[in-house]
Amino acid sequence: MDWIGQYNYVVVFFLMMTGFYVVVARGNLIKKIVGLNIFQNSVFLLYISMGKVAGGTAPIVVAGEVVYSNPLPHVLILTAIVVGVATTALGLALAVRIKEAYGTVEEDEIHAQDDDW
Amino acid sequence: MIFDNLPALLVVLPLLGAPLCLLLSRGRPAWLAATLVSWLVLAISIALLWQVRAGGELHYAFGDWAPPWGIDYVVDRLAAYVLLIVAAIAAVVLPYSWRSVRRELPTRLHGIFYTLLLLCLAGLLGIVITGDAFNLFVLLEISSLSTYALISLGRDRRALTAAYQYLIMGTIGATFYIIGVGLLYMLTGTLNMADMAARMAAMEGSNTLHTAFAFIVVGLALKLAMFPLHLWLPNAYAFAPSVVTAFLAATATKVALYAMIRFIYNVFGPAFTFGEMHVQLLVLPLAAAGVFVGSVVAVFQHGLKRMLAYSSVAQIGYMLLGIGAMSVTGLTAALLHLFNHALMKGALFLAVGALVYRLGGSRLQDIAGIARDMPWTMAAFVIGGLSLIGVPGTVGFISKWYLILAALENGWWPVVVLVLVTSLVAVVYIWRVVETAYFGVRPADAAPVREAPLALLVPTWLLVAANLYFGIATGLTVGLAGDIAAGLGAGLGAGGGAP
């Protein structure tokens, strides 16, 4: 298959690596969460892409349609989105508490304040 | 009737108990509810182990949707064995938690604390019992999210950064895991583990399969803190409330390791894992490095909790060495250490929790000369420490014995030397504590302390007694672990292969 046919997957892995890079490389706690979100969302796209059936319609019973997209990945991702929201909320809540305790959300400044790690 | 529903009740009970604790909101009723739930769960897990002791499998199809379409809960001996560990630790830790939590946490958080602990328990039990790869992810996240919140409850502000760091690394691990499961679903069209394994046989040499395997193994390795992916662990254990540390150290990494064993042996199969992917080439050096680095770094820690946390990194290395040995004996050693490490680290962290209860801290300088005032607590620590070192008569000896046997079977002398040397390093770091506590002199201006209350000592000594009991009466653990390993590793052959 030519790579145009796998356009979705190219985008998915580009986003995945972008998000992963942001999580690893950034020292700002909020930016890390943003990167984590991009990383997780790329996985959602991966699942949705694999559920697509060429020429298929939405998985709803409609007269005259016989080819449907696979609904299972959609359902799985609905769950994963909920998990992602919970993770983001918890991460941001922790960032707020860290800001209150340290006065900063930059990782190196936090480490500088607790040097006896 | 109720007997048929035990596999479901095991997870549903703590899941229902959690909101109940939140509604009760006040500390004591919430604690009583949580303790009751944990005891019921222990009873259920014993009943399950009893039913499958001869080697059968229990299946529970959720909502009566037959597998592979519905979610299937599977209890075999391996699952029942790990369930027993998790449930037993929870049942011991929860009675202990009341006094300790009251000392370490503000009153308004008590209800939430027990809610989170039960959620974490539900997630961990679910991971063990589920036969569905995606369901495992959801339960993994339930236990992880509650763990992050539990760690952030620690008094020190560094608990917050530790929880944050764990959140980032844990989420990356879990996301890697669903990427892998997604690729497997793409390939096989199923999420049921048994079904997946059956369909995978025809897909030899597929690149997608290799990629999926890599994502799943790395994702789980992050959760089980395989060296060098262990960076979240020391701080998380050091700054979490004492009860949380004891519970997590004894259960969380073990459950992730269980998931890894499940995937290696039941989903991908040992032939694919070791023959085609050559995982042992990656796992063995990293496990050996983890054992060595974890033990050595532990010697240089000033806090007892951090010291034991680094020691945990080393102990996980021992379990991975057992898996990497690719033999039935190696797998037996890994399973034994999974059980035994839960007992010894549980006992040690509960003893440290008792020290924190009286002293307010657990740095080495805090405990100078404390053995005169808290003899029972320190005695528990010493026996737990001896077990960690692997002195005969304790459980630590049993698992290290089997690990050395497995290494000898393969002719791996360097591994034997490594296990012996790192055991000696363990002597060093345990001795530092013993020396300070028994031969140190308490500062003259220090406030007088008394022995920890019975509510803390009894659970601690229960685990200490288990350390000694299973160190001498090895029939249950060795017999069970050996049977499980023989069942899983049927394709391995007794000697395994050279790497």
Tell me the residues of chain A between 53 and 72 that have a Cβ less than 8 Å away from chain B: none
In a domain, B60, yes or no: no
For the segment(s) A7-113, the CATH number from 3.30.420.10, 1.10.287.3510, 3.50.80.10, 3.30.1130.10 is 1.10.287.3510
Q: Count interface pairs A-B at CB distance under 8 A.
A: 72
The 10s digit of each residue's pLDDT in B252-291 is 999 999 999 999 988 888 888 888 888 888 889 999 999 9
pLDDT at A117: 47
Domain limits, chain A: 7-113
Of A22 and B271, the structure prediction assigns the larger pLDDT to A22
DSSP notation for chain A:
--TTTTHHHHHHHHHHHHHHHHHHH--BHHHHHHHHHHHHHHHHHHHHHHH--TT-B-SS--TT---B--HHHHHHHHHHHHHHHHHHHHHHHHHHHHHHHHS--BHHHHHHH----
pLDDT at A2: 63
Q: How many domains does chain B have?
A: 1
Q: What average pLDDT score do residues B113-130 get? A: 94
Minimal-distance CA residue of chain B relative to A51: B186
Q: Which amino acid is at B300?
A: F
- Cβ–Cβ below 8 Å for B168 and A94: no
| B158–A contact, CB cutoff 8 A | yes
CB of B233 closer than 8 Å to CB of B320: no
Identify the DSSP state of B451.
P
- Cβ–Cβ below 8 Å for A43 and B168: no
CB of B462 closer than 8 Å to CB of B94: no
Given the structure tokens 């075999």, which residue do they identify?
Answer: B76
pLDDT at B318: 92
Q: Binning pLDDT at 50, 70 and 90, where does residue B249 land?
A: very high
pLDDT at B315: 93
Find the Cα–Cα–Cα–Cα dihedral B305, B139, B22, A92, rounded to 10°.
70
Query: With 80 as the cut, is the pLDDT of residue B131 above it?
Result: yes
Q: Considering Cα of B44, then B47, then B52, then B58, what sign does the dihedral take?
A: negative
pLDDT at B334: 92
pLDDT at A116: 55
| A13–B contact, CB cutoff 8 A | no
The 10s digit of each residue's pLDDT in B369-394 is 888 888 999 999 999 999 999 888 89
- Cβ–Cβ below 8 Å for B160 and A40: no
In a domain, B298, yes or no: yes
pLDDT at B418: 92
DSSP notation for B235-296:
HHHHHS-HHHHHHHHHHHHHHHHHHHHIIIIIII-HIIIIIIS-HHHHHHHHHHHHHHHHHH
| B178–A contact, CB cutoff 8 A | yes
In a domain, B181, yes or no: no
Q: Which residues have CB under 8 Å from B44's CB, separation 6+?
A: B6, B9, B10, B13, B87
Query: With 50 as the cut, is the pLDDT of residue B496 above it?
Result: no
pLDDT at B271: 82
- Whole-number mean pLDDT of chain B? 89
Share of chain B above pLDDT 90, in %: 56
Identify the DSSP state of B452.
P
Joined together, the tokens standing for residue B360 give 């307010």
Host H or E run for residue B116: helix B110-129
The 10s digit of each residue's pLDDT in B432-465 is 999 989 998 888 777 788 888 888 999 999 999 9
pLDDT at B492: 63
Share of chain A above pLDDT 70, in %: 95
Return the closest-CA partner of residue B61 out of B134, B5, B135, B128.
B5
Q: What average pLDDT score do residues B311-333 get? A: 91
Q: What average pLDDT score do residues B326-346 get? A: 91
DSSP notation for B169-230:
HHHHHHHHHHHHHHHHHHHHS--BHHHHHHHHGGGTT-HHHHHHHHHHHHHHHHHTT-TTS-
Of A32 and A62, the structure prediction assigns the larger pLDDT to A32
Query: With 70 as the cut, is the pLDDT of residue A115 above it?
Result: no
Of B313 and B4, the structure prediction assigns the larger pLDDT to B313
| B240–A contact, CB cutoff 8 A | no
Q: Binning pLDDT at 50, 70 and 90, where does residue B178 land?
A: very high
Q: Which residues have CB under 8 Å from B446's CB, separation 6+?
A: none
Query: Which site among B137, B148, B158 would you substitute to test the A interface, given the most A Cβ atoms closer than 10 Å to its Cβ?
Result: B158
CB of B97 closer than 8 Å to CB of B109: no
The 10s digit of each residue's pLDDT in B258-268 is 999 999 988 88
The 10s digit of each residue's pLDDT in B18-40 is 999 989 878 889 999 999 999 99
| A88–B contact, CB cutoff 8 A | no
Joined together, the tokens standing for residue B137 give 């992810």
Range of the domain at B471: 281-499
- Burial class (CB within 10 angstroms; exposed 0-12, middle 13-18, buried 19+) of B202: exposed
Cβ neighbours of A8 (radius 10 Å): 14
